[in-house]
Each structure stands twice: as structure tokens, then as C-alpha cells.
A = this chain, B = another copy of it.
Amino acid sequence: MSDSSLKNKIEFILVEPSHPGNIGASARAIKNMGFKNLSLINPKDFPNDESFYRAKGAKDILENVKIYQDLTGSLKDATLIFGTSARTRTIPWPTKTSSELTKILKTALENINTKICFVFGREISGLTNEELQLCDYHLKIPTDESFSSLNLSHAVQIISYVIKMEIDNINSTTELKDETQTFQDNEYLIDHFDKVMKLIDFYDQENPKQVRTRVRRLIKRLQPDNLETGILRGFLSKIEQILNKKN
């Protein structure tokens, strides 16, 4: 399935946002991550110039926003609902080693008529218990414990970023590049350094084995691409040329 048709199954819902600026900044945030569906539940002040100003290039998201009087109304055809919450009853935030979220999303996205909603609470008071109970899962953004209150549009930005990464990951086909040097190319480069270091008697001054080993490690770590290998070998050849001519 195409990336954008998967992303169109995702909806972001802001419950009673107070600040029009946050609505615009949230529209921009989701569009930056390739999403387009935004719903507002009983916004305090919308439409408002400040929303459109803060949306920048995401004014189309605001023009197509859906507005509902209560959260239940917006969830009618939702098949999977996540509430963002500072509460403890949450699924574990995805990490490198474990992601329950990936499994849940993957299963949901495999269905044709999926609509996955991410619900965000009020700037000051978040979601009520009743609203949280409408959600299938709760997500708590991992903030610093001593200062956990995120700006609404910043919370939307982190969630939309994480969901984008999850969808990209679900969709990913590894792209092969053809510019890494092989083992043998690196060995030639290491040998070339060794040859020039001998030519200039560099090893006389120092512990030769240590220097050789260090240069080897350094090139292994560097993993030069084709162009870089060309520059380094050209540099070494030029030094050889000059010194051989002078001798």
C-alpha cells in the first residue's frame, strides 16, 4: 500500500483547544509528517487569523478541518482510538527494542476501512476520565518527570513524528546503495598509507606497529566512499610521485 494512503487512515483530534495559534501550529506539524486529517472538538476560537498565520503552508489542512460538538461525534467511524495522557494506564512507548504500538498499528493498517484516531486534550486540563475511557489505548509521551507539560502543538508534533516513523518502518523496503568501499578497497588504501609512511621514514620516529594499527583502525572506522577513497589515494600517489622524482 502506498505511504500516503496509509497516512490518510490517520486522524488527529484536538479536544476543546483554547488557543487558535495551537490549532494552526498543529495543522503544520501533522502536514510536516505527511498527514492531513485534523478534527476539532468544540474549539474556543476558530476560525481565527492566528490559526491560519501559524499554519504557514498547511492552510489546506485548516480549510478541510472537521468540527464536532463532542468527542463521541468525531469517533463514529473510528476503528482504533489512542488518547494522549499523562496518566499511568498507558501502553509502553515504542523503543528500539520493543514496540507494542508497531504491532497494534500494523494490524489496524492491514484492514481496508481503518480509521485510526489520536486524541489530544485541552491545553490546561487534558482529557477527562470519560473521554479517556472512549479510547482503546493511552499514550504517554516520555517527558522529563519534573516538567512534563508539553505545549499542545508540540505534543501533536511528537506523536505525528512517531507515527510517521512507525508507518515508514512498516512500509520499508531497504534501499541498496552502491557507494561503500569493499573490504579489499579499504585494504588497498591502508597498504597505500603504509607504503607512503615507509617512503617518508615516518615509522622511524614512532612505534611502527602502533602507528600502523592506528591507521588501520582509523580507515576502518571512517568507511570512506568511492570519492573519498579516490581523493586519499590520489593524495598519497602525488606524494610518491614528487618524492620519487626528487630522489
Most buried by B among A54, A99, A150, A201: A150
Q: Can you list the 8 inter-chain pairs with the closest CB atoms, starting with the nearest?
A: A34-B144, A154-B157, A32-B143, A246-B246, A31-B147, A200-B238, A222-B222, A202-B238
Of the listed stretches A62-70, A182-190, A226-234, chain B binds A226-234
A58 interface hit (Cβ, 8 Å):
yes
Choose among B33, B146, B158, B200 the residue that contacts A239 (Cβ–Cβ < 8 A).
B200
Please, could you name 22 A-B residue pairs with CB atoms under 8 Å apart, sorted by A?
A: A28-B151, A29-B151, A29-B154, A33-B143, A34-B143, A34-B144, A56-B149, A57-B147, A57-B149, A95-B169, A150-B157, A153-B154, A154-B154, A157-B157, A157-B158, A200-B239, A205-B238, A214-B227, A214-B228, A215-B231, A218-B231, A221-B222
A142 interface hit (Cβ, 8 Å):
yes
A168 interface hit (Cβ, 8 Å):
yes
A224 interface hit (Cβ, 8 Å):
yes
Bound Cα distance A122, B243 (Å): 49
Interface pair B218/A222, CB less than 8 Å apart? yes
Query: Which residues on A are within 8 Å of B, measured CB to CB?
Result: 25, 28-29, 31-34, 54, 56-58, 95-96, 99, 141-144, 146-151, 153-154, 157-158, 161, 164-165, 168-169, 197, 200-202, 205-206, 211, 214-215, 218, 221-222, 224, 227-228, 231, 234-235, 238-239, 242-243, 246
Min C-beta distance of A41 to chain B, whole Å: 23
Which B residues touch A238, using CB under 8 A? 200-202, 205
Which B residues touch A154, using CB under 8 A? 25, 28-29, 32, 153-154, 157
Choose among B25, B34, B56, B95 the residue that contacts A165 (Cβ–Cβ < 8 A).
B95
Beyond A149-B56, A227-B214, whether A33 also contacts B144 by CB under 8 A is yes
